[in-house]
Copies of this chain bind each other. A is one copy, B any other.
Amino acid sequence: MAQVDVEYRDTYAGHVTEQRVGDTVRIAGWVGRRRDHGAIIFIDLRDASGIVQAVIDPASIPDARSLKLEYVVSLRGVVRARPDGTENPDMVTGMVEVAVDELTVLSAAETLPFMLDDRVDVDERTRLEYRYLDLRSPRMAANLRARSAAFRAMREVLDGLGFMDVDTPTLIRSTPEGARDVLVPSRLRKGSFYALPQSPQLFKQLLMVSGVDRYYQIARCYRDEDFRSDRQLEFIQLDLEGAFWGREGVFQTLEAVIGAVVERVRGVPVQTPFRRFTYADVMERYGTDKPDLRFGMEIHDISDLVADSAFGVFASTVAAGGAVKGINSGNVGLSRSALDALTDRARELGAKGLISLAVEETGLRSAVAKFLSDEEQTHIVQAFDAHPGDLILLVADDSKKASVVLGQLRLELGQPRDHEALAFLWVIDFPVFDVNDDGSLSPAHHPFTAPVDVNEMRTSPETAISRSYDLVLNGSELGSGSVRIHDPVVQEQVFDILGIGQEEAERRFGWFVKGLRFGTPPHAGFAVGIDRLLAILQGERSIREVIPFPKTQTGVDPMSGSPTPVDDDQLRELGIALRPEVKAEG
């Protein structure tokens, strides 16, 4: 803890242990609990370090009678051992109490809108309205500490590796990619706008052009998305870039950074290097590009085993170029109705149906068992390494569809509820393009991502591979990165192949590509979503729990009431006006 200020205290509450018995201490903090026994009053005095019990005789200190919950006080007293039988071995300070001889009330407190107790369920809007009280709760205070500790761990590792912390501008040129830019009207150049950065991407690449060797920044970024998912209008990412660098350097560095963060926040070591999977591999085995590897239940393709099956669905699916795949969901003991619900869920996810095979000592029990030969049944059981009691779920469909549906069922059946285990992995060899459901292609990454081969990108766009990579933890994408294009000619070709016309490319990115023309080192980088990482490490479902002052899903801060209307004079200065339809609403 920090130095203490003698005006109010000379020690922290959490430091008043047996070693201090006999000492006179001065401490300051909040009145946590308060018990008035008439002739004696006990209070739990809480500060940022912990809690200590103080004992006050109201006969000599009448002010003690007026103390209420969350009053802020400074008190002086002698540390003494608690009477036999009243010790609390669960508390660091549980063997002692402070016999108060002087008390100063520094601040009163109104009745709180909710108790600071973790167990009481308060709706989130109320918690956000009184965020300063919410943050006093042990859970939220621990989240704040974890966040600060994570920042520190990241910086210590990167500083130690010779990275430079460079702050890039946040009022930049609007070059929207993916999400909408957050726009900022300029007063000095009316009618023009800055954008808040979606990431420092172009600036960090230009830092490489500038001769910076290794860059990092805990960067504030902005995306004006619809708030359906667990996103915020502003968020922070650990942003990295290096010159004369490639994927292996990025991986080593991030493994060191993440390892240090987990060690600091969780107190446990992380196994490195992280496992690596190609995109093709994870899609095949887990039906998703961000698999949760805390559990197995891999997808297996048994098309070969059932291509000639007497069960027509299998045979015809395989004959038509589809696949029969499945997972062994283990000994889940689903009821008939639970199985029906699972089938409905598979249909909801887009599958034509779901075939379940219960593995018994004597063979498979299933509506389709009678169509499967003994040999087929044996092969299927072997393919899934299944044992009596296990439940095998099969989907016969388009190969990708089957994987995606099974991947989702896998999560719903197998994903642990807690966040105790941490399963990190790298996904590499992403395709350049995502294939949409209608067969059209859309760029899978931002246009500065280097392709493995720009010619392949043009001639075989469906199968071309890019030099990008993702970091995944427990089924969440923590971040992504890539080797960048450092050749301005290749960059222009890639714009063209991605469908960004020459004029558009010049307008949006011309200033950046110009920078590549004066000697650009090969470079690579990454960005880690810090909010998501912390939420997982702290076992929180929403990133809002680990952000000091988040906004609601509609971008509102219930505490300050922002955003708010502003004076028309202010808008006039900016050269803008509200549209008539908006005015009418207001």
Contacts and interface: CB of A to CB of B under 8 A. Distances in A.
Contacts of A581: 575
A235 B4 CA distance: 31
A570 interface: yes
Interface stretch (A185-193, A297-305, A471-479): A185-193
B192 A162 contact: no
A151 interface: yes
A551 interface: yes
Interface string A116-154: 000000000000001111011000010011011001100
Given A3-B249, A144-B166, A161-B3, A563 B189 contact: yes
Contacts of A161: 2-3
B248 A48 contact: no
A112 interface: yes
A145 B171 contact: no
Contact of A193 (B174, B180, B486, B563): B563
Contacts of A31: 519
B192 A549 contact: no
A227 interface: yes
A96 interface: no
Given A5-B245, A187-B224, A519-B70, A192 B511 contact: no
Contacts of A155: 152, 155
A48 B234 contact: no
A520 B252 CA distance: 45
Contacts of A583: 191
Interface stretch (A85-93, A203-211, A412-420): A203-211
Contacts of A58: none
A190 to B, nearest CB: 5
Given A184-B184, A185-B185, A192-B563, A110 B517 contact: yes
Contact of A564 (B2, B136, B192): B192
Contacts of A141: 211
Given A2-B163, A207-B548, A564 B520 contact: no
Interface string A40-72: 000000111100000000000000000000111
A252 B242 CA distance: 38
Nearest to A182: B184
Contact of A183 (B218, B512, B570): B570
A436 interface: no
A172 B557 contact: yes
Contact of A5 (B29, B46, B244): B244
Contact of A171 (B186, B211, B234): B234
A404 interface: no
Given A9-B244, A112-B518, A168-B548, A185 B188 contact: no
A368 interface: no
Nearest to A202: B560
A398 interface: no
Interface string A245-265: 110110011000000000000
A315 interface: no
A317 interface: no
Contacts of A226: 188
A223 B203 CA distance: 22
A582 interface: yes
A30 interface: yes
Interface string A188-201: 11111111100000
14 contacts: A9-B244, A29-B521, A46-B211, A107-B520, A112-B518, A130-B518, A131-B206, A171-B233, A172-B557, A180-B187, A183-B184, A190-B585, A193-B563, A576-B579
- Shortest 6 CB-CB distances between A and B: which pairs? A109-B519, A48-B213, A173-B562, A2-B162, A135-B210, A192-B563
Given A135-B210, A152-B159, A169-B551, 12 more contacts: A107-B521, A132-B207, A155-B155, A169-B234, A174-B564, A182-B184, A183-B574, A189-B554, A191-B583, A572-B579, A576-B582, A577-B579
